[in-house]
Structure 1
Amino acid sequence: MLVTAVGAGGAALLSGCSGGDDSSGASTEVSLERRMREGAVRDSEDLLERYDRTIAAHPDLAGRLGPLRASVAAHPAALAFVEPGRSDEQRASPSPSASATPSRSGEPVPPKAADALAELADAERSLAQTRTVALAGAPGELARLLASVAACGAVHAYLLTSNPGARP
């Protein structure tokens, strides 16, 4: 009787381990990727909002900031989570808790254009660094995407702090 109980318990344990690890490991990875993507989307949306506030406060910068803003505006769609088995057109929207994150819309834009550009460059640089650090824990495709978006942010930071039209 003891042998039967141990055998039945061992069989249940083995079947539970083999089936449970495969599916829970995959769902954990998807869950991690989804959380990382949703956070990256929120960060991009916050940065886009910052561009919009800067352009509204300094309309004379619109020509300079427009192309950078357009690039940032493309990031949320590129970073959005796609459910396994769905196409890019069926991307999942951020979860309700993700959209409940407070925005920084209350932060004032500096009154001087140069200071506003420097603040925007700092935001780009900080987000690029955050995304670079996140590469270590990101699944392959997301890591490549984060690296590209981080590089884009680093270039934006450089362009925001460079003197447009100046000769080298």
Structure 2
Amino acid sequence: MIKDDDLEGYLKIPGEPTEVHASEITKSYVVLSWTPPKPRGRAPLWYVVEKMCHSPVPQTKPVKPPAQAQSPRMSRLRPQAAVASPVEAPVATPELGFSGSWEKINTAVKLQSPRYPVFDMQDGIKYQFRVYSVNMYGSSGPSVATEPIQKVDKDGKGGL
């Protein structure tokens, strides 16, 4: 049986971190924590954290087409069409939509700890996070993304 310790000297590119989650949620920030990859290799390791914003989807209303006036001559040439029903624009759900892209949030720091505080979160907006392990040989794939997370508001509501 091969053990993780046996692979450490042979492994070049690290595996992805696991169990990424919010270990603290406040009205000012969220602290992300994760488990380092196993095996990770012996090269110095750091992490890259990414976020994806979930923004509220605006509500849309049904749109009626403009009434079409027919000249008396045209109404004699064609039979009168049945009354048209309003054209329905898609109605957005109150659920949250994705911004659609992942954004690196710790580009200025070579993060070596499996914890990272996130301060630049907007009130009432949910975010997902994922983490990569990186060393001098390359980068892992992304971790599994967190569930949507938001800061707590002044009333203590929000979180996961």
TM-score range, shorter chain: under 0.3
Report the TM-score when normalising by structure 1.
0.24
Report the TM-score when normalising by structure 2.
0.25
Higher relative contact order (CA 8 A, sep 6+): 2
More helix by share: 1
Which protein shows a greater Rg? 2
